[in-house]
Chains A and B, each alone.
Chain A
Amino acid sequence: MTAIPVTEAELHAYIDGLLPAERRAEVDAYLAAHPEDAQRARAWQEQNQALHAWFDPVLAEALPLRVRHPALLRRMPPAMRYAAVAAWFALGGVTGWYVHVYNTAKSADSIAFAREAVIAHVVYSPEVRHPVEVGADQEAHLVAWLSKRLGASLKVPHLQAVGYQLVGGRLLPGNQGPVAQFMFQDSNGRRLTLYVRRGARDSSETAFRFAQERGVGVFYWLDGKFGYALSGEIDKAALLRVAEAVYRQLNP
């Protein structure tokens, strides 16, 4: 047998999952024959696991950061507006970001989703002239277009029963692909936005989660193929009422 000698770098790549698949078996064989190296590799692997166990909880913590130079944002060219507002939110408010469900990786993703939804709400809900790309008068076209772009059949809820009319919707770039945003408005002109993304996988688990930042509340949940986030500057109980109406409409 003419095995190629295993290098130190390959031992690291082995435990970091960076070794080419065809070499793994040879390193396995090498480690079986060299218990001292096997012990070292195992210790390194345990270090990686310990790092995650120790520091992953930081992923789900509230963001206590502050804006030190809000003037910076005003100097931004308009093209950077979205990024700037995003960063401004990231820098956070004194009120912080309250999330009731803490879980590591999976919930970090949904927290990021909820935050994206809030940012999109803050960017578009104050728009006077162009709040949406396609208005409610072309609802069928809007739904067909967004369904096509998201790659799954979307439904838009009707919320007149809870006091909100559809304004329309737009397509947005989400962190994981295209996202649809529907906007609703009550008789006083107060707006809610429903942010919908295609989920990575079907989910039968539906749990409403709530987060809030700078007066914008957001309920977000997973349902079947989609993730939803409903944002608005109304109180939590009122927002929940609408979120429940949305959920019932989409699950008749």
Chain B
Amino acid sequence: MVPHIPRLRRYARALTGERARADDLVQDTLERALNKLHLWQPGSDLRAWLFTLMHNVFINQLRAQPGRLTAGLDDEAAEVAVRPTQTDWLEVRDLQAALLRLPEEQREVLLLVGLEQMTYEESAGVLGIPVGTVMSRLSRARERLRGLLAAGAMPAALKVVK
């Protein structure tokens, strides 16, 4: 399990955009993995299993936040509220800010494929969705990110919540 932790942390950081929240996500994932270790099939891909657990923990955390839309909506117009932990929020520029403006389900696909270099089938397995859905989310994520990055840093619509 240990060799996978740096990658779980990298993914969590990109997914949540916050160090503290990312580390909580990794911690919760590892605890769940320990509790469910008897469910893991030796010989199967441990990394994919850990990412699946992390996806489930992440989705549960989103659901636990009141007033948040949960997964399942490929909402082009979804606005993402960002809670800054760094005092110097404006220093966290461009890519991270743009990522946080993607709906979570698009962000997950983009990161699993683009950062974790999983195949589309592996990503579909981790997220529990069909490959076709992976492709459409990936397409939307990449086009949206392209638009956001081209438009420059920090569009005014981004809402910063204390």
Contact = CB atoms under 8 A, between A and B. Distances in A.
Interface residues of B, number: 38
Contact of A116 (B2, B7, B115, B146): B2
Interface in B63-101: 95-96
A54 B111 contact: no
Interface string A41-85: 001100110111011101111011110110011001000100110
- Main secondary structure on chain B at its contact with chain A? helix
A50 B95 contact: yes
Nearest to B27: A65
Contact of B145 (A47, A66, A73, A108): A47
A175 B7 CA distance: 15
Contact of B6 (A18, A54, A60): A60
Contacts, number: 104
Interface stretch (A87-95, A181-189, A202-210, A242-250): A87-95
Contacts of A69: 31
B23 A112 contact: no
Interface residues of A, number: 45
B111 A44 contact: no
A16 B30 CA distance: 29
A63 B2 CA distance: 11
Interface string B108-149: 001101110101100000000000000100110011011001
Interface of B: 1-3, 5-7, 9-10, 13-14, 23, 26-27, 30-31, 33-35, 37-38, 95-96, 110-111, 113-115, 117, 119-120, 135, 138-139, 142-143, 145-146, 149
